[in-house]
Structure 1
Amino acid sequence: MRKAKIIGYASLTMLLFAIVSCKKDAYYKDGGLAQAKFDGSIMDYLDSKPREFDSIAKIIRLAGLEEDFKTKEFTFFAPRDENIKKMIGQAKSNVPGNQSSVNWLLYDLGRDTIKTLADVDSTIWRKYLLRYMFNNKRKLMDYPQIDFDLLNVYKGQNYTSFANTVSNIGVVYNDAINDSDKNNITRLKYMGYRQLYISYIPDISRPNDWRSCPVASSDIQPDNGVVHVIDYTKAQFGFNQSDILLDILESKR
């Protein structure tokens, strides 16, 4: 009888361990529907998703970075086409927010507007794409925790991009909330899903001046790197759209 009890306890322990392990793995799911493994290069992956990355793939080629995206090993925080389209915008628009697009400003200044992506100097595309590229393969679990309300404790980590710019990258550990009983809502600190954030730092001498963007889909793994897709609804191309606007305006003088 005693032996049977021991076996029963051991089985129960293994079951509980398995459940906890499954829950631990679940923390790393950020709600994205991306397939983790991709048979092909980072460039191949972007080409396979034209709805999201057609413009991104085009400017990579215009910037002379296609071979890097096919062969070099790195981590790419991928912006989406929507951010490119919003930045370029229309020559004349009554849509709120579009008045700050590059085409609206060029039109207002009486200069030639951008009709194709090739109308932008290729060195400008290169400069801003390199901000999203980082050495080595790093998945969500390879980055430290960040809590934007407790940066003195959970501060993420600074990484230097291929453009020699600095971004802080970290994982937000969200709280787990049980609201099935509206009269007794429980919250477990840091026990919910985990989401990757990248925060571009324009001036390292002002380390708290960040341009933070959440990642919508993380840990996509082509053959030569890792892709994390940035949430386009909370991002600007180049992290700071005014930078690239000024560069394009200067190039159109």
Structure 2
Amino acid sequence: MKKYIIRNLFFTCLMGLILGSCQDKYFIDSGVHESHYDGTVVDYIKMRKDVFDSLYKVIQLCELESVLNQKGVTFFAPGDQSIRKAVFALNEALYLTGRDSIYTLDQVDPAVWREYLSMYIYNDTYLLKDIPQVDTLNLNIYPGQGFESYGGTNMNLGVNYNDVISEIREDEFQIVKYAGYRQLFISYIRNTGNVGSFGSMVNAPVATSDIQTSNGVIHALEYRRHTFGFVTSNFVNAAITKGIIYK
């Protein structure tokens, strides 16, 4: 038990070295964003170091700056905490197989970063109002819409219409379906042959939508409910298979 605790403390400290600025701001979703920003998508990501510092490093490593700066682009931006969780899982896997952990993001092959970051990028600009309704518990009625990401991955985008729940009297509630606030989701499709089945999609909710820039739009993902790459084991296996870059 003591060995397990020490190992977890080691990995926790290691994440601080990898991702640099471990500030309290990381534990507040994505803060307050301006709806219009006088700059490109990359300019905005670079400016918000409190949330996207490691994301900007990944963008540089996989050379996707020019793609995110082209006219008409939608970017579902994963926060640094989402990247941190993926790297932590990678180091756990490396530890269990007797290999050294990584200390910097550039120890993962750039091709792996590019493959998985491309899942979050879409040609053309899609605001929340442009995306159809999704009900993850009733996909046959409200399935959202299938989209192909910049990297060619089959994904699903949809807006979840929450219910309004009002307490009429003690222990008695009135529920109005789909009348509440709307939240944008991006989902990885595990099984394209049976999208409506349970577990066929891995959903990532958006914390702040419609951050409009001079060349496109950013939707900032809710980091508490998302790990970079959607399926952690896929990212981990890809990084190990491609080969860790030890210095």
Matched residues in 1 for 2:144 and 2:31: separation?
22
Aligned partner of 2:193 in structure 1 is 205
CA contact (8 A) 1:196 1:218 kept: yes
How far did 1:108 drift? 3.0
Across the aligned residues of Structure 1 and Structure 2, the Cα RMSD in angstroms comes to: 1.9
Aligned partner of 2:240 in structure 1 is 249
Structure with a larger share of its residues in strand = 2
Which one of the candidate residues 226, 230, 237 is aligned to 2:221? Answer: 230
Aligned partner of 2:95 in structure 1 is 107
CA contact (8 A) 2:208 2:219 kept: yes
3-state SS of 1:185 partner: strand
Matched residues in 2 for 1:187 and 1:126: separation?
44
Aligned partner of 1:10 in structure 2 is none
3-state SS of 1:177 partner: strand
Which one of the candidate residues 121, 127, 152 is aligned to 2:115? Answer: 127
TM-score, normalised by the number of residues in structure 1 = 0.78
How far did 1:199 drift? 1.2
Deviations 1:145-175 (A, max 9, x none): 1122322211111000011111111111111
Unaligned runs of at least 5 residues, structure 2: 1-29
How far did 1:119 drift? 0.8
How far did 1:70 drift? 2.2
Structure 1 segments, 4+ long, off by >6 Å, are none
Deviations 1:162-203 (A, max 9, x none): 111111111111112233754663322211111111111133
Deviations 1:194-253 (A, max 9, x none): 111111113312423110111111111111111111111111111111111001111237
Letter in 2 for 1:47: K
- In the alignment, is residue 116 of structure 1 matched against residue 116 of structure 2? no
Aligned partner of 1:190 in structure 2 is 178
Cα distance, 1:245–1:183 mapped onto 2, change above 3 Å: closer
Identity of aligned residues (%): 40
How far did 1:128 drift? 0.4
Aligned partner of 1:160 in structure 2 is 148
Letter in 1 for 2:78: P
Which one of the candidate residues 227, 230, 244 is aligned to 1:239? Answer: 230
Letter in 1 for 2:157: I
CA contact (8 A) 1:112 1:252 kept: no
Aligned partner of 2:206 in structure 1 is 215
Q: Whose Rg is larger?
A: 1
3-state SS of 1:236 partner: coil
Matched residues in 2 for 1:227 and 1:32: separation?
14
3-state SS of 2:58 partner: helix
CA contact (8 A) 1:156 1:168 kept: yes
TM-score, normalised by the number of residues in structure 2 = 0.80
Matched residues in 2 for 1:184 and 1:115: separation?
54
3-state SS of 2:206 partner: strand
Aligned partner of 1:6 in structure 2 is none
Cα distance, 1:221–1:180 mapped onto 2, change above 3 Å: farther
Cα distance, 1:32–1:157 mapped onto 2, change above 3 Å: farther
Unaligned runs of at least 5 residues, structure 1: 1-30, 90-100
The aligned length equals 212
Deviations 1:69-124 (A, max 9, x none): 223421111111101112212xxxxxxxxxxx111221332333211111110001
Letter in 1 for 2:32: L
Which one of the candidate residues 161, 171, 194 is aligned to 2:159? Answer: 171
How far did 1:32 drift? 6.9
CA contact (8 A) 1:214 1:231 kept: yes
